[in-house]
Amino acid sequence: MKKLLIICLGLVLSIGASNAQEVPVKLGHINSQEILMAMPGRVAAEKEMEALKTKLEASLMDMSKTYEAKVGEYQSLAADTPPSTIEALKNEIIGLESRIQNYQISAEQDLAKKQEDLLQPMLQDVQKAIDEVGAENGFAYIFDISTGTILYKAGEDVSVLVKKKLGIM
């Protein structure tokens, strides 16, 4: 019985000693929003976005003025205006409303595409730098505290082990 106890104690101590010699897992975090705000191309990208937004808003304003003029014209029609003229003006106003709505959707898509085109190179540069810092400094994971996402991972995926433990195949 004493021999078994001594063997068990030896095993526990050797396991504890081997665990104590392991290198700790290095975790890191960044704030990607802060980094993006400090990027050299950010100011130029913002100016380009603002210029496009101003241009699109000006076009929308012109369309809105035309629409308002047509609505004013419709409201000031005389009582003896022929029904065909009233109908034609109504259809023109409806067409303008539709074009304005389509333009707004298109303008939002254009702005989103432009933003993506301008930010993508910066985001790629940031990700490349994160990957290099992670590899060079031995980080297992680097988290983005501004979004709560993992931006770099060198750790082991243990999903299979967890599924096995849960009896999921």
Collect all residues with Cβ–Cβ distance below 8 Å to 32 and sequence separation of at least 6: 126, 144, 146, 147, 151
Domain ranges of the chain: 23-166
- Dihedral angle computed from the Cα positions of residues 80, 83, 85 and 88, in that order, rounded to the nearest 10 degrees: 150
Dist. CA 72–CA 93, nearest whole Å: 10
Residue 48 burial (C-beta neighbours within 10 Å; 0-12, 13-18, 19+)? middle
pLDDT of residue 23: 65
pLDDT of residue 8: 41
Mean pLDDT of 75-80: 90
pLDDT of residue 20: 47
Percent of the chain with pLDDT over 90: 62
Model confidence at 17, pLDDT cuts 50, 70, 90, reads very low
pLDDT surpasses 90 at 15: no
Mean pLDDT of 47-67: 97
Helix, strand, or coil here: 139? strand
pLDDT surpasses 60 at 40: yes
Helix, strand, or coil here: 169? coil
Main-chain phi, psi angles of 22, to 5 degrees: -65, 145
Percent of the chain with pLDDT over 70: 86
41: nearest Cα among 109, 112, 125: 125
pLDDT per residue as tens digits for the range 123-134: 999 999 999 999
